[in-house]
């Protein structure tokens, strides 16, 4: 392992965030695990409250934790529904957390990192940040935006010795808990029914990997300066993104429809 680093993780109360905190701590790093609510019982890990949708909360937390070497922007919310009728306030909330929340933390650390000439930004995106799906437009759009910001950021700050990495998990167990489901007009009920098992069909015989797989990818991205801008994680992510690169739009749609049995 490289030298011990001070790493802040958002959305660390469970899932990928918690697994990443534990993996990094086990590898000797100094970990600050944050979430919107207070956490306890994290042995060897410093816990802080951080609401990524609040400028004051971000500023206060970063002042309390002191200098950082890396940040992992993992805080996110999910949800599904057709574009027609999907509540605009929920879309705004999704962007506020998934996209602008990451940017708040990034903007807060960059001035000091730029002067110092080092730092690592890891943004947890999704395969849905590269490929959208039916009933997932809002979540995908927030992750597409995060990818665009990160790609530009990568080009802007590498000159200052600051690295930017996108982690793109596929379907990870136990998965994100959606803030709502089956939104939209009743006429879309048939699509909901067909799409319900799509993730399972795409993971292959080995099933969904656990959050630890993503955590190890994040730890590697922090420690290894040769990590590329984008890191897909999971068999389904690699397969989907591979197909997207090699097929035109119609051929890719046909392949996805066949893979999940979508006749809608």
Q: 139 catalytic, yes or no?
A: yes
User: To which H or E segment does residue 114 belong?
Assistant: helix 100-116
Torsion of CA 210, 213, 216, 220, to 10 degrees: -150
How many whole angstroms separate alpha carbon 23 and alpha carbon 29? 9
Return the structure tokens found at 91. 């879309």
Give the C-alpha distances (Å, rounded to integers) separating 206 from 137, 172, 241. Answer: 28, 12, 19
Pick the catalytic residue: 139, 188, 192, 195? 139
The number of residues in the chain equals 264
The crossing angle, in degrees rounded to 10, of helices 88-98 and 137-157 is 30
Residue position matching structure tokens 């010795």? 161
Which residues are known to be catalytic?
Answer: 139
């Amino acid at each position: 392992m490289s030298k011990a680093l001070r790493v802040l993780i958002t959305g660390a109360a469970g899932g990928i965030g918690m697994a990443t905190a534990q993996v990094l701590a086990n590898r000797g790093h100094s970990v600050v695990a944050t979430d919107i609510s207070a956490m306890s019982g994290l042995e060897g890990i410093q816990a802080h409250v951080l609401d990524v949708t609040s400028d004051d909360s971000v500023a206060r937390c970063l002042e309390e934790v002191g200098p950082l070497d890396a940040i992992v922007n993992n805080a996110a919310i999910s949800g599904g529904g057709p574009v027609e009728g999907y509540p605009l306030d929920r879309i705004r909330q999704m962007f506020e957390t998934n996209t602008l929340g990451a940017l708040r933390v990034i903007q807060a650390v960059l001035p000091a990192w730029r002067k110092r000439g080092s730092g690592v930004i890891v943004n947890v995106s999704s395969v849905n940040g590269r490929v959208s799906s039916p009933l997932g437009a809002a979540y995908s759009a927030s992750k597409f935006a995060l990818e665009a910001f990160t790609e530009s950021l990568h080009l802007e700050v590498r000159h200052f010795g600051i690295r930017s990495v996108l982690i793109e998990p596929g379907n990870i167990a136990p998965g994100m808990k959606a803030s709502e489901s089956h939104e939209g007009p009743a006429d879309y009920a048939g699509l909901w029914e067909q799409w319900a098992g799509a993730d399972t069909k795409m993971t292959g015989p080995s099933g969904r990997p656990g959050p630890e797989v993503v955590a190890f990818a994040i730890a590697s991205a922090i420690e290894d300066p040769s990590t590329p801008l984008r890191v897909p994680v999971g068999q389904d992510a690699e397969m989907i993104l591979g197909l997207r690169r090699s097929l035109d739009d119609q051929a890719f749609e046909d392949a996805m429809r066949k893979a999940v049995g979508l006749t809608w």
